[in-house]
Amino acid sequence: MNLKHITKDLGKFVTRESPQILTILGIASAGVTVYLTGKATWKAAQQIQHEEIVGKVENADHKFRLTDRQRFEKIWKLYIPAAATGVMAVGCIVAANRVQARRYAALAAAYGVLSGDFDEFRDKAAEHLGLKKTDDIDHEIAKQKIDGMTIQPGAITPDGKSWFLEGSTQRPFLSTQETVKRAMNFVNYEANNQRGASLNTFYDELGLPETTIGTLLGWPSGTSCDVVLTPVLLDDGRAMTEIKFTKQPVPKY
């Protein structure tokens, strides 16, 4: 039973960490390829030198030299191990990227389903409770998120700027409402003129670092990146505004 459990746990570990394992194998194979290539080149140089010395003696010609084709025929087998490990290195790295891409695609698809459910829930909540109660709920949720942040922003801010919280990634940053609205308008322009705009486009306009999920999600042409700004006044007098989207970005935009 213990061996069965160990084998099962090992299988789960390999599956979960397969991109990292494949990447490590690819890097190791690339290193071995470099070593074997150097070793093969050293042997090839010695073999060619030996063959040409023998050729000079046999042909009584001190200028005797092998042709390029003859050299290739003499030494190509020496590079087979290096070529094999090189192919293995490329294969491991390509496989790691494919596994990671499939996982990100699955994550984006799941996020798209959840965001669609959230949009539908929000619409129904507003329909049954009214906009005022829905806004109050949004305010309470935003306050809980901000209060629960591990790193709290300072109370002192530069002139004209205030604290904002990007709701999807829970990242606080300093900005202005004008900057946020300008970012929203730019994304809408890109979505309708470039056949879609990624979530990272919005982050770029706000000066936030891009994210992996931000590459996979976005707004297709014909939709809009309308944001909801929920200002929250904290108990210690600090203020922060949470940014959320009325319609969440979707995969395959």
- Domain positions in the chain: 2-105, 131-251
Per-residue pLDDT at 211: 85
Residue 54: the pLDDT is: 81
Which residue(s) pair with 145 in the sheet? none
Query: What pLDDT is attached to residue 149?
Result: 61
Q: What is the pLDDT of residue 57?
A: 76
Q: Are 197 and 218 in contact (CB under 8 A)?
A: yes
Give the Cα-Cα-Cα angle 61, 66, 71 (nearest 5 degrees).
Answer: 160
Task: Give the 3-state secondary structure of residue 236.
Answer: coil
Amino acid occupying residue 78: L
pTM: 0.51
With the CA atoms of 28, 33, 35 and 40 taken in that order, what torsion angle do they form, in degrees rounded to the nearest 10? 160
pLDDT in tens, 15-34: 777 888 888 999 999 999 99
pLDDT computed for residue 245 by the predictor: 85
SS3 172: strand
Q: How far apart are CA 135 and CA 145, in angstroms?
A: 15
